[in-house]
Amino acid sequence: MAHTLTTTITPDLIAEAHDAGTVAEDAIISNEAIVIHERFVSEGKVLDITETNNSDGTYQQVIKFLDSAACDAYLAEMASINEFETSGASRSNQTRADI
């Protein structure tokens, strides 16, 4: 069964921290995270990504996975490179659901 990971992204939090010199330029998503993400796409574990502007300075990102195991593996790999520690301040309201 397909599975989604929905997250609210607040780019201003990263921009403000970057301007203050406390966050690296790649804080929105690191190069290592891009490699992981692209591998999941090429392996057919990430089926779709949608982003919706919330018109309040945030947007909603929905990543559709093959199943919940693929989502678990994705989150574990991102955690192993501290991706959510690096850019996690800009992410909130994370929810998961089978669809």
More confident residue, 64 or 78: 64
Question: pTM for this one?
Answer: 0.79
**Residue 2 pLDDT greater than 90, yes or no:** yes
Predicted pLDDT at 85: 56
**Residue 16 pLDDT greater than 70, yes or no:** no
| Over residues 53-73, mean pLDDT | 93
The phi and psi torsions of 33 (rounded to 5 degrees) equal: -70, -35
**Residue 12 pLDDT greater than 80, yes or no:** no
Q: Are 95 and 29 in contact (CB under 8 A)?
A: no
| Over residues 65-71, mean pLDDT | 97
